[in-house]
A and B are shown apart, each in its own frame.
Chain A
């Protein structure tokens, strides 16, 4: 790799994956189940940010809202409308959990964009738990609400009869692939963006090593970091939105399984 470029004792740093390492916050011990790590730190920060926006921001209870309160109300109205439009009125009891998901993901994504931050949602372990919770909850809700009728989700009534068993197999497979794609989409997007930024960041100090090619590469890579960063801001929101809206879609399937 580019690490061979040595000049004046300096080495080009090129470790795009180092930013995802889980470290204990205090001391150097091993990472056990309850160890306070950087994961804990950034998750606590996420909770604090959510509290700041949704609890402290609305503490005025003003009829004419200030800026923070309007943002909180905007978020509330946005997710509530999404749940109502996509999953239907009878999905509103699940609105608090969907709101929890959205707020957690959107704040983790944006806090992760702070330079030097640790992005909790870039870890498959985290997103897999989020997706599995949704998957298990949706399956349980489907069977509780409709009993065996929930299996009608896999039996496409609109298709010609000979095709239906084949379609049923495909539907079952796609149903079980849901949590996989649901979790990997979020983690992959986050990881990809951050790794790409890191790769460009590694090229940025090239001018310190070699003034020849560095004069061209350094400005280009700084420009690229800026552009990718802007894209990541968009991705951070869109992935939270997509995760939430897919949760709503799955919930709709559980509440109204008929095709």
Chain B
């Protein structure tokens, strides 16, 4: 049973790190939602901005992926 406290710490830390992915979800939803509301106002300009939207999604999502990575590192690598 030795090392159990450390393991518990790892798991709690991993769980806490996973919370960061919720932020990424909010960010991605925000990006797409705003894009959509803008696109519905001016549909003719929407087609040219899809690439920008995907870049925005990528940046927002990357940070969520970082927190997921931290969780994985805590679970499996530490």
Chains A and B touch (C-beta atoms under 8 A apart): yes
Please list the residues of chain A having a beta carbon within 8 angstroms of any beta carbon in chain B. 17, 82, 85-86, 181, 184-185, 188-189, 191-192, 195, 238, 241-242, 245-246, 249
Q: Are A188 and B69 in contact (CB under 8 A)?
A: yes
Query: Are A185 and B62 in contact (CB-based, < 8 A)?
Result: yes
Residue of B51, B57, B68, B72 near A82 (CB, 8 A) is B51
How far is B74's CA from A150's CA once the two chains are assembled, in angstroms?
Answer: 40
Report A-chain residues with C-beta under 8 Å of the C-beta of B62: 181, 184-185
B54 / chain A contacts, CB cutoff of 8 Å: 238, 241-242, 245
Once the chains are docked, how many angstroms separate the CA of A167 from the CA of B35?
Answer: 27
Say whether B55 faces chain A, with CB atoms less than 8 Å apart. Answer: yes
Complex interface residues of chain B between 11 and 37 (CB less than 8 A to chain A) = none
CB atoms of A85 and B65 under 8 A apart: no
A72 to chain B minimum Cβ distance, whole angstroms, is: 22
CB-nearest residue of chain B relative to A182? B62
Residues of B near any A CB (own CB < 8 A): 51, 54-55, 57-59, 61-62, 65-66, 68-69, 72, 76
Q: Are B55 and A246 in contact (CB under 8 A)?
A: yes
User: Among the listed A17, A181, A192, A238, which residue makes an inter-chain contact with B68, where contact means beta carbons less than 8 Å apart?
Assistant: A192
Complex: A188 Cα to B69 Cα, angstroms: 7
A sample of 5 cross-chain residue pairs with beta-carbon separation below 8 angstroms, ordered by A number, consists of A184-B62, A185-B65, A188-B69, A242-B54, A246-B58
Q: Are B65 and A192 in contact (CB under 8 A)?
A: yes
- Which one of A85, A184, A185, A192 lies within 8 Å of B51 (CB-CB)? A85
Task: Say whether A249 contacts B55, CB under 8 Å.
Answer: yes
* Chain A residues, Cβ within 8 Å of B59: 181
CA distance A65 to B72 in the complex (A): 46
Partner pick for A242 among B55, B66, B68, CB 8 A cutoff: B55
Cβ contact within 8 Å between A188 and B55: no
B58: chain A residues within 8 A (beta carbon): 185, 242, 245-246
Given contacts A184-B62, A242-B58, contact A86 B69 (CB under 8 A): no
Residues on A with beta carbons closer than 8 Å to the beta carbon of B76: 17
Q: CB distance B69 to A184 under 8 Å? A: yes
The reply to whether B65 and A189 form a contact with Cβ atoms under 8 Å apart is yes
Cα distance, A241 to B51, chains bound together (Å): 9
State in angstroms the CA–CA spacing of A192 and B59 once bound together: 17
Name which residue of chain A comes closest to B66, CB basis: A184
Docked complex Cα distance between A85 and B69 (Å): 33
Residues of B within 8 A of A85 (CB): 51
